[in-house]
Structure 1
Amino acid sequence: MPPILPQRESLTVEFKSDRKCLSDKDLVEAVICLANADGGELWLGVEDDGTPTGLHTDRLQVAGLAGLVAARTSPSLAVTVVPVVLSAVNVACIKVPKAHGEVATTGGVYLRRRLKADGQPECVAMLPHDRASRATTFGLVDASAQAVAGAQLSDLDPLERERLRQCVQQFGGDRVLLELDDEALDGALGLTARQSDGTRAPTLTGLLLVGKELALRELVPTHEFAFQVLAREAVGFNEFRRFPLLKALDWLETNFRPYNPEREIQVGLFRVPVPKVDLGAFREAVANALVHRDYHRLGAVHVRMDDDGLTISNPGGLMEGVTLANLLTTEPRPRNRALADAMKRIGVVERSGRGVDKIYRGMLRFGRPEPDYRRTDASSVVLRLATTDADEAFLKSVVEEEGRLGSALPIDSLIALAALRGLKRLTTDELAIHIQREPAQAKRTLEALVEAGLAQAHGATRGRTYTLAASVYQAEGGKAAYIRQLGFSNLQHEQLVLNYVREHGAIRRAEVIELCRLSDGQAKDLLKRMKSTELLLLEGAGRTAAYRLGPKG
């Protein structure tokens, strides 16, 4: 099937007129421009407004275009050229893959595609910091492990080194670090790197963790963070800082606490704190933003509190291979590997590299919505944490089950419980999407919750569905909530079907599915049961099969 001409140009679609025979140079530059962004399609023979005007007579044989592009790009770029007839004229759709790294013309020209403020695409030069940023996104270069030009050992602050050692003790980091002198500590955490002349110089990791503030301002000008509080559009707090990261985390947490009220609820013999935002999730999210931001890009890490929630954003999109659809399951891919490893050893961030799990846990166990990354794009990661009221009945069920297990609930189980709470009824395929795993794993998760008494299964066939168990709704008003989420009982389904048949004379399986809001398998089981008890009689077969009232109907 031939490709379909898009309606307009975009980040991944470029139209090029060929009425005057587009030069080979311009064609190749347009191709690498797409390749150095997200790849896409170059439609040759189409005007900027999307009107097909056809290929120049010298270019009607499109078979050689792929070889032309390969010969004039470095490294050679493999494109696919598809001839297409539109409005009785011949055009070419050149499919350009996303380059894994960076690609240039053989003349040494580096270009990339981007969107302007008005949403229109443009092709611009790839400057040195753009190329460095792209390399870190693909994990090809670790800027945080490299020595910073012009930095000296005197740019490191002894007081920040002491803060680092205190953090190791406070957060349960690698205690071996506490036994090292300054030079050995610098080497163990990658705070300095050996130069060709044998001397040591601070790395980006070193400056960010224990650098003096003046040195950070001069040598790492992209480093900046802000804490903002907006209440009913009024600014309650708005300050920008350039502190070293450990001091930054302490400053942000100290200023955040007054805006994060906490109460307690009784669960058995224990009193459980219920904050507006889980502090562990806050600390992990802020640390992730500071550690994984792109230090080649200008822009601050923003921590913003408003009436609806907490938003944490940082410059630099997700790493190559990481998407919103695999955020929970993909292997950790830090942009600044040396910095991330150092923060793990200090104990500030999750040592397993699964900090996202900790953020999810800090939201879901309180019955709040899951973390929202939907505003993330190619240039920034944006995390939204809702500050809705906690569901105390849900929290009590989770705490009691964790007490019974003697450990925290698996993150998949928490996601499943939250999905059941929000959607009322789930299938294994639906849960698989939520936990970003295979349906088989989703089924094991749900069956484990059934065994624990937290979920209830309905049906025994492929149409098996799950709801929260009645035990989750033991708080005041819980019985009514349970009845609402459980839906119609089997008896109610039977009565609905009987009333329909009495009024219309007969009913088909498709009508049962729509009437009772059941799956195909559940409707089949219901009709089979009603037939066996002689409430209904089956007439016909296949597509003409219908059920009428039986002797006991």
Structure 2
Amino acid sequence: MQVDDAGLLVNNPGGFIEGISVRNLLSAEPQGRNPCLMDALKRVGLAERTGRGIDRIYEGSLLYGRPLPDYSASNQTMVSLFIERSEPDAEFVQLLAEERGRGTDLPLQSLLVLDALKRSRRCGVAELSEMVDVPRQRLKRTVELLCEAGLVEASGGGQNRSYMLSKKVYGHGGKAKEYVRQTDIDRVRYPELIMKLARQQGRVTVSDVRELLHLPDGDAAYYELKKLKEHGELTLVKKGPRSFYAPVKK
């Protein structure tokens, strides 16, 4: 073990157990090398019989606003853990403490999603799945629960659906400007996303745009389509309840 200005470094001889790698540390089925030793350590409170000690390292880092533990230097002959020395994200820690105080359950998977969005600003489910090593279907449920808790906001629909930390989270950290910047960036991309959908489908309707951009009503969706029509990107086909817009061939 080594502690210096960079952080804490712990090296253990022997590689990961078969089937375990840096990429699946949190998703692989837990197992121990030595069940007898594990039982002894469990009895004195130094280890979990389930083998989920790595979960607790990650959870502790996130709950205290620290960077994620780094196992990237591990190889076939050594497991290397590095925990970077840094100032804790006090606002983030306080937010998590308040959520726990309200009875909001924030398991490790939820904490990993919040941390990923804090670092990457905006992600889709596919990107988040890669970052937190969780299957997409399970991760989607976690993200939607965070949306219901008011910690995450969604925009768009279908394959274009993306997520970012909510106004509540940004405001808690005194980062309202960052929240506004992210939402403005999203609005700038509206025409791009609408045209992409229109080209893929060959047509696009008001309801398509409302679902795609997660807009509050049909009027907002109609306004975005109208702007693209005025700029010569779309043309209105038919009128009335069955109307739709088609890309202008250039």
Q: Which has the higher helix share?
A: 2
SS at match of 2:160: coil
SS at match of 2:109: helix
Structure 1 residues 346 and 476 mapped into 2: Cα distance closer, same or farther (>3 Å)? Answer: closer
CA distance in 1 between partners of 2:111 and 2:42 (Å): 25
SS at match of 1:415: helix
Tell me if 1:435 matches 2:145: no
| 1:422 corresponding residue in structure 2 | 119
- Paired residues, what number? 222
2:179 to 462, 482, 490: 482
Tell me if 1:317 matches 2:11: no
Matches within 5 A, 1:47-126: none
CA contact (8 A) 1:364 1:414 kept: yes
| 2:87 corresponding residue in structure 1 | 389
- CA RMSD across the alignment: 3.2
Matches within 5 A, 1:525-536: 525=212, 529=222, 530-532=224-226, 534-536=229-231
The structural deviation recorded for 1:436 is 2.0
The letter for the 2-side match of 1:401 is E
The structural deviation recorded for 1:398 is 0.9
Gaps of 5+ in 2: 200-207, 214-220, 236-245
2:146 to 437, 446, 449: 449
Structure 1 residues 489 and 406 mapped into 2: Cα distance closer, same or farther (>3 Å)? Answer: closer
Matches within 5 A, 1:151-550: 303-405=1-103, 409-475=106-172, 477-490=174-187, 492-493=188-189, 509=196, 525=212, 529=222, 530-532=224-226, 534-537=229-232, 538=234, 545-546=247-248
Structure 1 residues 449 and 314 mapped into 2: Cα distance closer, same or farther (>3 Å)? Answer: same
| 1:184 corresponding residue in structure 2 | none
CA distance in 1 between partners of 2:90 and 2:249 (Å): 46
Q: Deviations over 1:390-446 (max 9, x none)?
A: 111211111111111265x21000000000000001111122223322101110010
CA contact (8 A) 1:393 1:472 kept: no
CA distance in 1 between partners of 2:35 and 2:162 (Å): 43
CA contact (8 A) 2:66 2:88 kept: yes
CA distance in 2 between partners of 1:448 and 1:347 (Å): 33
CA distance in 2 between partners of 1:484 and 1:316 (Å): 47
The letter for the 1-side match of 2:115 is A
The structural deviation recorded for 1:362 is 1.1
Q: Which has the higher strand share?
A: 1
Q: Deviations over 1:235-288 (max 9, x none)?
A: xxxxxxxxxxxxxxxxxxxxxxxxxxxxxxxxxxxxxxxxxxxxxxxxxxxxxx
SS at match of 2:122: coil
The letter for the 2-side match of 1:531 is L
Structure 1 residues 487 and 379 mapped into 2: Cα distance closer, same or farther (>3 Å)? Answer: farther
| 1:37 corresponding residue in structure 2 | none
The letter for the 1-side match of 2:141 is R
Q: Give runs of ≥4 in structure 1 deviating > 3 Å.
A: 484-487, 507-510, 532-537, 544-548
Gaps of 5+ in 1: 1-302, 498-506, 513-520, 549-553
Structure 1 residues 364 and 476 mapped into 2: Cα distance closer, same or farther (>3 Å)? Answer: closer
SS at match of 1:385: strand
The letter for the 2-side match of 1:389 is E
SS at match of 2:79: strand
| 1:504 corresponding residue in structure 2 | none
CA distance in 2 between partners of 1:406 and 1:453 (Å): 11
The letter for the 2-side match of 1:344 is K
CA distance in 2 between partners of 1:458 and 1:545 (Å): 23
| 2:240 corresponding residue in structure 1 | none
Structure 1 residues 481 and 392 mapped into 2: Cα distance closer, same or farther (>3 Å)? Answer: farther
CA distance in 2 between partners of 1:441 and 1:432 (Å): 9
Identity %: 37
TM-score of the aligned structures, taking structure 2 as reference length: 0.77
CA contact (8 A) 1:366 1:395 kept: yes
SS at match of 2:24: coil
CA contact (8 A) 1:449 1:455 kept: yes
The structural deviation recorded for 1:462 is 2.1
SS at match of 1:333: coil
Structure 1 residues 314 and 493 mapped into 2: Cα distance closer, same or farther (>3 Å)? Answer: closer
Structure 1 or 2, whichever has the larger Rg, is 1
TM-score of the aligned structures, taking structure 1 as reference length: 0.37
CA distance in 1 between partners of 2:182 and 2:88 (Å): 19
Considering Cα pairs closer than 8 Å and 6+ residues apart, tell me whether 1 or 2 has the greater RCO.
2
The structural deviation recorded for 1:475 is 4.3
